[in-house]
Amino acid sequence: MVRDRVKYFEANDMLYGHNLNKIETIVIPDITGIDINDAIEFYEINRYFDKDARSNTWSDEEFKAYNEKSRELYELTLRFFNAIDNTTVIQYYTAVEHSFHTEFWVLFSFCKLFNKISDDTFEQLIHTDGIAQFDLFRYKNIVNRYGTVLRGYIIEYDNSIQILMHVYEQAYKQGKKLFLPTKLTGVDICSCLENYIDGDSPNANILKSIEQMRASERFPISDELRLKAKRRYAKELQKLSITGVSIEYGIQLAFLPDQHEEKTVEHIGKEFKISYSIRWLLDSLDYPSILNNFIYIFDFVDVPQMRSLHISKESDFGVFERTMRSGSSRIYPCSFGFGFITRLATMQMNAYYNFLKEQKVRLEDVLKWFFTEYLQSEYNCPEIRVSFPSEGSTYAEKCSAIITTFESILKQYSLYVNNGEIDFELIGMSTTPILFDRVPSLVSKKYIYGGNKNYAKLTFLLFSDQCMNSFVPRIHEQKKEYESFLDLILNEQVNLSDYDKREHPAFEYLADYDLIEIAPDGLISVNNKEKVEVLRDLYKNEVVSRWHYPVAALSEIQDLVDKGVLIEKSSLLSTPETNYLNYLLNRSEYDNGLEIRNKYIHGIQQVNTNEKEHMQNYLILLKIFVLLAIKVNDDFGLSEIIAKREDNN
């Protein structure tokens, strides 16, 4: 939308009334001094005044004057459109700004231009660039008038299958109603469907819908046609098998058409075989399910904590790796496990991205829907503006564009959390780079981290494979070994007498924090399971999300916070997640960072002609964008959970 144009939005839209104050400076022009976009804009202005929309700064007298002005502008709209004829309609339409295309057809119908525009001219008009198919079939008077032309349009174009499917499904679903010309017969419709089934690249989802159609007077679908759709669907499933192999990490990843389980994992020797059901994925092509697949099928985060599973963690380092790793805090720790999960995640994104593309679904559109529609409808979030890369862009261009969008969303979200609104003018003036650890959260005291030296000591005694308390001679003689002291006491009867008295203070220390209990006879057992589980989770994952824990555990967490063992912080992303993003995108924290963001923002990668490298970088950027969507959704969800708990107390 051109910035200074007024466009009508419904009252529940964040852009309702946007730029309406432009009417204050509009001077009523002569009819010869306006163009098609002016005429449509005047119509849009009048729609607001028909709903009594007004600026808070207007007095009653000003509102009355502007209302009268809007009526005069509307009269110019009607005069302009009523003057359109066969000789001017195509010229005018090609000049219509993109955001006004639908409004052109509203006025075409309202002003009854179909009484003046011939069939031949209308046919030329609907084949001009920028025509949105659905606009042609929204107005019954237009469809009835140009029945022959629109019948030919539907028969001629394969893409018209979307119109037919919409009309069929609107009997069962809510949505904007479309009309089919009466001249389009049931035989015509079945012929269109059959031609689509026989086409070069039918969408498997549409084939499945045709197979499941019920015969009606308007859609006289035969069993033979449904069977044909079923067989072509099965054939397309077979073609959709996607397999990628990484030799260096021993990963085989496949999408299989005849697999019933949504996911299977096999570990044979040094090789992992992971397969996903195409049937499952085809049944989950709606936008919410696609995002959920990254959580529940591809394991981008853990449930219910919603922590990224792609980060490097200390607990993933083997003993040998720990001795060999750099001690510098400027080196992001890259273990074998981190390399494995990084490669797997890229393979998953590559395979699923291309799978969705085969189904005519762009992951970019899914992400755009989440930030611009879902958050607004589900959580009443203000408008978030995003601009994703176009499909025809090179991967280098896509990388540059999506990085800018990623940072823009973080800035917008920060303003919303801090101020309760998003000031786009303020964002436009900002030159401060976004710091991932500074992006705020809607939730206070959201993340829990290890605190003072007591935390390090407690977790070492309980969970470390280097703590010798996990070794008891009599149990070792039974050829039993445990990785930690906690594993030992959970599986064996262990007594203080199994240890030298010099080691007893360590057990008393654990007992002082209610983590273990020492019975009068010296038997050692776990005492406060909630505290132990929180500490074990934190030891393994380096952060826990407080409010995802059961209510019973919250008081135990707070007790450890009060004692300084744990500390609490609030941000959208956890510290391990911000470290991971800094490693991928810049060198602010790590000398071995990939610097993906810096290279594209500063134009370094633009001279690189290796499209494969750009594609790999784009897949990485898509991965973190999916993570951002998951984290934002989790933030809103936790905010609601906490609000409900407070209301119930």
What's the 3-state SS for 298-338? CCCECCCCCCECCCCCHHHCCHHHHHHCCCCCCCCCCCHHH
Residue 11, C-beta contacts closer than 8 angstroms, at least 6 positions apart: 51
State the pLDDT at residue 2: 42
- Residue 590: the pLDDT is 86
Of how many residues is the chain composed? 649
Preceding amide of 304 cis, omega within 30: yes
Write out the H or E segment, with its range, that includes residue 264: strand 263-268
Structure tokens at 129: 């660039």
* Residue whose pair of structure tokens reads 């922590």 in the numeric block: 307
At 349, which helix (H) or strand (E)? helix 336-358
User: Domain residue spans in the chain?
Assistant: 285-416+607-642, 447-569
Asked whether the beta carbons of 521 and 492 are under 8 A apart, the reply is no
Structure tokens at 352: 């699923």
Rounded-to-integer distance, Cα 399 and Cα 382, Å: 27
Where are the extended beta strands (E) located within 189-234? Answer: none
* DSSP secondary structure code for residue 370 in this structure: I
As a whole number of angstroms, the distance between CA 572 and CA 589 comes to 19
Which amino acid, residue 570? Answer: S
Q: Would you call 471 exposed, middle or buried from its count of C-beta atoms within 10 A (0-12, 13-18, 19+)?
A: middle
pLDDT at 123: 95
Token duo for residue 394: 């090179």
N-terminal to C-terminal alpha carbon distance within the chain: 47
- Residue 204 is predicted with a pLDDT of 79
Give the Å distances, CA to CA, from 129 to 31, 86, 96, 124, 209. Answer: 27, 18, 11, 11, 29
CA distance 143 to 49: 30
- The per-residue pLDDT for 477 is 92
265 SS3 class: strand
Instruction: Please report the sign of the dihedral spanned by the C-alpha atoms of residue 47, residue 50, residue 54, residue 60.
Output: positive
The confidence score (pLDDT) of residue 320 equals 58
Cα torsion at 397, 401, 402, 403 (round to 10°)? Answer: 110
Please provide residue 42's backbone torsions phi and psi, each rounded to the nearest 5 degrees.
Answer: -60, -40
Contact present, 543 and 307 (Cβ < 8 Å): yes
Residues of the chain with pLDDT under 50: 1-3, 243-248
Three-state SS for 230?
helix
- The predicted structure's pLDDT at residue 605: 61
Which two structure tokens, joined as six digits, stand for 414? 């920060």
Bridge partners, residue 569, by sequence: 447
